[in-house]
Amino acid sequence: MLPALSALGAAALVSIAHAQDGPPPGWVGPAPGWSGGVLMGVAAVPEFEGSRHTRVQPVLGGEVFWRPGVGGSVAMGSRGLVWTPWQTTAGSASLGLSVDPGRVDDDERKLTPAGLRPGSADLRGMGEVDMSALVSAAGSLSLGPVSLTGAVRKAVSSHRGTLVEAGLALPWQLHRHAKLTVTPGVIWADRRHTQAYFGVTPQQSAASGYAAFEAGAGLKSQQLVVDFDMAFSRHWHLQALLRVQRLAGDAADSPITQRTRQASGMLALRYEFQL
C-alpha cells in the first residue's frame, strides 16, 4: 500500500474480490480462479504509536487472488503474501509474509514497500527501529452471527518482537448492498516488541532527553475497529474505516508516549474484478 496503512488497509483489502458473478450462494472468500481489486483513498493516522500528532496521507493499494476451487486461496499485494488453506462459513485460517516498517526518529519518512514509515522529529535521538520481514498466522471462528478473530505476528529480524491479537467481529447487514462490522479487540506484545517501540535505553536517554525506561511484555492496547462497506455496482465499493485505540501497560507508561488514546481513519473507493 502506498503508503501502507497496516491496521486499516489490511482490513479493507481482506474484503476485496468477494466477486458477485462467480461463486455459488454461501461462498466465502475470493471467487474461483483469478480475482482481485484496487483500493484508492485517503487516511489519517498517528505519526507513530503514542504520538499526539496525526498525518493525512493518500492510500493506494491492491491485491490479486488465485483460488483453484473450493479449497484455499493465495493472495499477493499490499498485505504481502497470504495463503489461506481453509475458508468456509465456519471460519478461516491463513499464513502470511509481510513487512514491519519499523520507525524513524525524524520527519523524513521514506517511501518503502510497506509505505511511509512511522516516525517524527519528536523521537530525535531515539534512533531507528529497522524494517523487518513479518511472518503471521491468523484465523477466525464463526459463532452464529459473530466471529472470533485472532492473529500472531513475528518479526524475523530487527527487534524480533511478537504481537498477539484477538477480537470479536460483530457484523450488521444494513442494506442488501451495505454492511457495517464492529470489532472490539486487544493486542498483547512480548518484551522485545515493547522495548523496541516504547523502551528507552540509557544511550537513547542521553541522546534524546527522554528518561530511561525498560518496557516489558504485557497487554499493549485495546481497540475498536468500525468497517463500513457499500457497493455501488458489481465492481465499485465505498470503504470507510475507523480505528480507536487505547495504549495500556508499559506502552501507556512510556516516556515517549504523548497520548494514550488515538484514532485512525480511512475513506476509499475499491474496484473489484474477476478474470
Q: What is the pLDDT along the chain (275 residues), one digit of tens a residue?
A: 333 344 555 555 555 444 444 455 556 778 889 999 999 999 999 999 999 999 999 999 899 999 987 678 999 998 899 999 998 889 999 999 999 999 999 988 777 666 789 999 999 999 999 999 999 999 999 999 999 999 999 999 999 999 999 999 999 999 889 999 999 999 999 999 999 999 999 999 999 999 999 999 999 999 999 999 999 998 999 999 999 999 999 999 999 999 999 999 999 999 999 88
Length of the chain measured in residues? 275
Provide the CATH number for the domain around residue 181.
2.40.160.40
pTM tops 0.85, yes or no: yes
Residue 55 lies in a domain: yes
Is the separation of the CB atoms in 3 and 58 below 8 Å? yes
By residue range, what is the domain housing residue 258? 6-274
Asked if residue 215 belongs to a domain, the reply is yes
Residue 1 lies in a domain: no
Residue 159 lies in a domain: yes
End-to-end CA distance of the chain: 22
**Residue 8: in which H helix or E strand, if any?**
helix 6-14
DSSP conformational letter for 30:
S
Q: How many domains are there within the chain?
A: 1
